[in-house]
Amino acid sequence: MRVLISTWSLQVGGGEVLAMNLAAELYRRGHEVFVFNQHAELVDPALVARLLPQGVKVLSMADNPISSFWAYKINALQQRLGRPARFYQRRQQAYLAECLRRYQIEVVSSHATVSDTICAPLAKQFGIPLVITEHGEYNKFLLEGRRDFLPILQAAQRILTVSYYCQHNLEQAFPELPTIETVYNGVVTEAHDAAEVRKQLHIPADAFVFGMVARGREDKGWEYAIKAFQRVKAEVKPKGQPLYLVLVGGSPYLQQLAAKYMEDTTIIFTGQVPNPDFYVACFQVGLLPTYFRAEALPLAVIEYMVSGKPSIATQVGGIPELLEPPTGPTGLLVPIESATYTPNLPALTAAMQQYYEQPDLYTSHASNALQASRQFMMATCATKYEHAFQTSVSSYFNK
């Protein structure tokens, strides 16, 4: 099958990483796979080299640099004149249309709302089934009171959501959607030696390490993790086991935090890295005190689970599905303050303190996490996507 996977960028992000991992797995299964990058300038070369096999062809407006340059210039002119800046999008659609024809694409898999907007009319024009994956953006729109995106969803042959939370909200808002089902994200991780990671980061071998992996956005809860960590250090009874916090991610915002907390040598900022699973190996507990309104099913929490690490995360989006599965709790949920939509800092501190002071609780949740993680293997995820693609193609041409 010739599959085009369209994504917002080729950088760190749940939807982006899932799209690249999916492309790689489908390619390994013998499919001809193309990845269309909506933002040609947003590329992490090290991440792409790590995740995408050379046989997966990356498409973007970077293939037409002169056209792209002038399209941006005309967009800027439209903005200055107070007109809708849509010229670049039209040029991008023309390029994507050329790719659909040239490579005889059989199904389009779209992984971002902007991508959906660009792909939907082309899929209809060329008679190609469109499969939309909802990574949480449409649920954010619902929270904001928006309903204007319904025609885009109705253009899909099939809608896949990354959590039952997202599926339920869409079905409640729009009872007559195309076929919709939940397919949990799959992850690809490598095993690493925790002792080697600690040695590289200059962390004592006997330290108790909290860690966090996420995009470098403020609303992922980075500073809440830092404040709770510092409170735990101040409140717990010393056990001869030093406490450390490892923060894995990069952005100007995180650089500001690193400067602000530089005097605390037990807080380590790794910066942007292409292999977060390397650092997760040295964690005891994974943190994600997010208050990002488009949170759906964070890959970071899944990666903690696959590494056998319990999580402490906020009760938003599909996170409860991860931390409270039928097989037993894999972590501790932290409530969100209803008035401010921010993490409850005392509860976050208490949860971190629980894992530090209660080894039996920690061991139980760590074991549950490893067991529950089996449903998040990339092979399982890709098999479900394959079925969705095949079913969409079959039903599209038989309707």
Query: Do 370 and 381 belong to one domain?
Result: no
Tell me the CB-side half-sphere exposure of residue 205, using CA atoms within 13 A: 3
Q: Does one domain contain both 206 and 341?
A: yes
257 & 148 share domain: no
Q: How far is residue 194 from each of residues 106, 200, 354, 355, measured CA to CA in Å?
A: 44, 10, 22, 19
Q: How far apart are CA 215 and CA 204, in angstroms?
A: 27
Distance (Å) of CA 86 to CA 62, 63, 64, 71, 257: 18, 20, 18, 9, 36
Supply the pLDDT for residue 66: 67
Bridge-based pairing of strands 243-248 and 267-271 is: parallel
Total structural domains in the chain?
2
What is d(CA 240, CA 168) in angstroms, rounded to the nearest whole number? 47
Q: Over its length of 399 residues, how does the chain's per-residue pLDDT go in tens digits?
A: 999 999 999 998 889 999 999 999 999 999 999 999 998 889 999 999 999 999 999 999 888 766 776 566 776 777 777 776 676 777 888 899 999 999 999 999 999 999 999 999 999 999 999 999 999 999 999 999 999 999 999 999 999 999 999 999 999 999 999 999 999 999 988 889 999 999 999 999 999 999 999 999 999 999 999 999 999 999 887 667 899 999 999 999 999 999 999 999 999 999 999 889 999 999 999 999 999 988 999 999 999 999 999 999 999 999 999 999 999 999 999 999 999 999 999 999 999 999 999 999 999 999 999 999 999 999 999 999 999 999 999 988 776
Torsion of CA 175, 178, 183, 184, to 10 degrees: -50
- Dihedral pair phi/psi, residue 148, rounded to 5°: -70, -5
Task: Supply φ then ψ for residue 392, to 5 degrees.
Answer: -65, -45
User: In this structure, are 118 and 214 located in the same domain?
Assistant: no
CB 355 within 8 A of CB 361: yes
One-character DSSP codes across 171-214: HHH-TT-SEEEE----B------HHHHHHHHT--TT-EEEEEE-
Q: Which of 55, 50, 19 is nearest to 36 (CA)?
A: 19
Q: Are 222 and 187 in contact (CB under 8 A)?
A: no
pLDDT of residue 274: 85
| 165 and 286 together in one domain | no
Please tell me whether residues 296 and 355 are part of one structural domain: yes
Specify whether 227 is located in the same domain as 156: no
CATH code at 285? 3.40.50.2000
Measured from the Cβ of residue 93, the count of other Cβ atoms closer than 10 Å reads 17
Q: Using CA of residue 21, residue 26, residue 27, residue 28, what is the dihedral sign? A: positive
Same domain, 180 and 230: no
For 170, phi and psi rounded to 5 degrees?
A: -65, -40
My answer on whether 142 and 200 are in the same domain is: no
Residues 155 and 63 in one domain: yes
- Give CA–CA dist 48/9, Å, rounded: 11
| 153, containing H or E segment | helix 150-154
Task: Based on the fold, state whether residues 362 and 336 are members of the same structural domain.
Answer: yes
Domain of residue 55: give its range: 2-186+377-398
In a shared domain, residues 270 and 176 = no
What token pair was written down for 157?
């042959």
Give the H/E segment covering residue 85. none
Give the residue from 307, 345, 350 showing the smallest Cα distance to 221: 345
Q: Are strands 208-213 and 285-288 parallel, antiparallel or unpaired?
A: parallel
